[in-house]
């Protein structure tokens, strides 16, 4: 097959176009889910498929469908939800198409028979299309909130989705319509583009608002823990004061006992005091304020619900994990543990172990559970009535752990549910 100059230019600029698509993906998606090599291969595959279809078939509607399908395929390189993938692709395609149409119409060769072979060719138009798309991507890259990707509620998603989807349809209709002048069509496409740009901006704002809401909820939760910690510290200060006050009295008593050679009674007296100290310490006091606060708060809750708690804390005062992240991880895991353990009739307990070791943080939470446990796409659901509640937190826990290149492993043998988390703290 002999390729014309135009077709060569198409292939070469399509490499650049594929890179533009990649940049566009980074507007929407933050974390890669596949290996770097797989990602690269998938983009090469995208480039090949589009080039081959263009060179062999070259019917706009076929190209459009192929583009949308392959673009959705490409989004699977990244972690996201299906809703967001569809939205991203529709937006992306709409933007590319608008630019292509505007450039095509302005360079004055446009002829758009939707269902038959397309043979307009302007090297100048092609190159400007690629460059303009790339510049646009750079502009869109300023919207930082979209990729953070807090979950947008369905109703919002539908409203946002309707705008580019409808635009796409109407733009296609414009070309079937007779009696419209080129300038009218250009004006309509530009206006559609403006409307979609505005929608995109709104989407960004909504994502920002949602993540702000999440954050303030977490801060409120933290305040709750801190308040409880403050109470505990106050109480412990009171106890110390009382002990100091009593110390004189205790010493006087001991000295009287020793003077009268009452060995047994002296020992009894001392062990009473020691016991008093020993019972005081069933709470976290590692000096790491956020960890102590969360554990003390949750353990109090657990004990009020009749759950026995054990704790093994081997962490330094300063861990290098932000308090928000710690709240998400520990708060969610302990909530789940309390929830599951409280449904166990016999001997409910929660074991918590935190250990800093050789640059890593290990967190283990173990508790018994009742009933069956169902694993559903990485979430755990008990067969009990609390389906909505259980396992929700684990998603956000996973997200935080990823920030620390860490991992979470879940085990549920013999009716004991245990989670181990590893995070690298460097």
> Contact residues for another protein (CB under 8 A)?
35-36, 274, 277-278, 281, 285-288, 313-318, 356-360, 362, 364, 405-407, 409, 411, 418, 420, 422, 424, 426
With the C-alpha atoms ordered 216, 218, 219, 223, is the resulting torsion angle positive or negative?
A: positive
Residue 49 CB partners (closer than 8 Å, separation 6+): 66, 70
- Between 319 and 324, name the residue whose CB sits nearer to another protein: 319
- Between 40 and 139, name the residue whose CB sits nearer to another protein: 40
- Between 224 and 360, name the residue whose CB sits nearer to another protein: 360
- Between 151 and 360, name the residue whose CB sits nearer to another protein: 360
Nearest approach, Cβ of 325 to another protein (angstroms)? Answer: 16
Residue 203 CB partners (closer than 8 Å, separation 6+): 87, 146, 152, 160
Which two tokens mark 165?
């989807």
How far is Cα 164 from Cα 98, in angstroms, rounded to an integer?
11
Nearest approach, Cβ of 293 to another protein (angstroms)? Answer: 14
- Between 36 and 244, name the residue whose CB sits nearer to another protein: 36
Nearest approach, Cβ of 318 to another protein (angstroms)? Answer: 6
- CA–chain centroid gap for 367, Å, is 26
- Between 191 and 416, name the residue whose CB sits nearer to another protein: 416
- Between 68 and 410, name the residue whose CB sits nearer to another protein: 410
Nearest approach, Cβ of 296 to another protein (angstroms)? Answer: 13
Nearest approach, Cβ of 58 to another protein (angstroms)? Answer: 40
Give φ, ψ of 261 to 5 degrees: 60, 30
Residue 351, beta-bridge partner list: 310, 366
- Between 87 and 291, name the residue whose CB sits nearer to another protein: 291
Residue tagged 């009739």 (tokens): 345
CA angle 79, 355, 362 (to 5 degrees): 20
Residue 78, beta-bridge partner list: 32
Among 90, 68, 216, 71, smallest CA distance to 150 is for 216
Nearest approach, Cβ of 234 to another protein (angstroms)? Answer: 18
Among 113, 7, 135, smallest CA distance to 61 is for 113
- Between 141 and 314, name the residue whose CB sits nearer to another protein: 314
Residues 124, 109: contact at Cβ < 8 Å?
no
Residue 147, exposed/middle/buried by CB under 10 A (0-12, 13-18, 19+)?
A: buried
Helical H segments across 260-281, by residue range? 263-279
Residue 224, exposed/middle/buried by CB under 10 A (0-12, 13-18, 19+)?
A: middle
- Between 264 and 345, name the residue whose CB sits nearer to another protein: 264
With the C-alpha atoms ordered 318, 324, 330, 334, is the resulting torsion angle positive or negative?
A: positive
Which two tokens mark 355?
């250990």
Nearest approach, Cβ of 276 to another protein (angstroms)? Answer: 12
How far is Cα 61 from Cα 114, in angstroms, rounded to an integer?
6
Q: Are strands 349-357 and 308-314 parallel, antiparallel or unpaired?
A: parallel
Nearest approach, Cβ of 243 to another protein (angstroms)? Answer: 15
- Between 174 and 311, name the residue whose CB sits nearer to another protein: 311
Nearest approach, Cβ of 421 to another protein (angstroms)? Answer: 8
Nearest approach, Cβ of 287 to another protein (angstroms)? Answer: 3
Nearest approach, Cβ of 319 to another protein (angstroms)? Answer: 9
H/E run at residue 302: helix 289-304
Q: How many CB atoms lie within 10 A of CB 310?
A: 12
């Amino acid at each position: 097959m002999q390729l014309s100059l135009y077709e060569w230019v198409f292939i070469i600029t399509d490499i650049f176009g594929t890179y533009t698509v990649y940049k566009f993906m980074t507007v929407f998606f933050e974390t890669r889910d596949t290996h770097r090599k797989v990602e690269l291969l998938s983009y090469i595959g995208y480039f090949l498929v589009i080039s081959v279809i263009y060179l062999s078939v070259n019917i706009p509607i076929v190209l459009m469908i192929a583009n949308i399908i392959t673009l959705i395929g490409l989004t699977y390189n990244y972690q996201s939800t299906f809703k967001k993938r569809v939205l991203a692709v529709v937006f992306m395609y709409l933007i590319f198409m608008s630019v292509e149409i505007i450039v095509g119409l302005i360079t004055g060769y446009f002829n758009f028979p939707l269902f038959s072979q397309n043979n307009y060719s302007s090297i100048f138009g092609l190159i400007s299309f690629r460059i303009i798309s790339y510049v646009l991507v750079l502009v869109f890259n300023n919207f930082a909130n979209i990729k953070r990707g807090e979950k947008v509620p369905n109703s919002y998603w539908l409203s946002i989705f309707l705008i580019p989807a409808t635009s796409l349809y109407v733009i296609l209709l414009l070309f079937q319509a007779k009696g419209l002048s080129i300038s009218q069509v250009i004006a309509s496409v530009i206006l559609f583009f403006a409307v979609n740009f505005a929608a995109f901006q709104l989407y960004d704002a909504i994502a920002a608002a949602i993540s702000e809401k999440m954050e303030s909820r977490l801060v409120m939760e933290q305040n709750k823990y801190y308040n409880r910690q403050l109470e505990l510290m106050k109480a412990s200060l009171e106890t110390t004061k009382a002990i100091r006050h009593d110390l004189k009295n205790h010493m006087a008593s001991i000295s009287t006992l020793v003077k009268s050679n009452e060995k047994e009674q002296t020992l009894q007296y001392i062990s009473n005091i020691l016991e008093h100290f020993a019972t005081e310490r069933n709470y976290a006091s590692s000096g790491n304020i956020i960890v102590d606060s969360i554990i003390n708060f949750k353990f109090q809750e657990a004990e009020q619900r009749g759950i026995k708690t054990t704790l093994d804390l081997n962490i330094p005062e300063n861990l290098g994990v932000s308090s928000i992240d710690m709240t998400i991880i520990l708060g969610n895991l302990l909530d789940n543990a309390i929830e599951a353990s409280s449904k166990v009739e016999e001997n409910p307990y929660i074991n918590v172990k935190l250990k800093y070791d050789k640059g890593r943080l290990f967190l283990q939470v173990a508790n018994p559970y009742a009933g069956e446990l169902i694993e559903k796409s990485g979430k755990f659901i008990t067969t009990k009535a609390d389906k909505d509640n259980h396992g929700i937190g684990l998603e956000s826990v996973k997200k935080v752990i990823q920030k620390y290149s860490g991992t979470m492993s879940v085990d549920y043998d013999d009716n004991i549910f245990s989670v181990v988390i590893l995070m690298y703290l460097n």
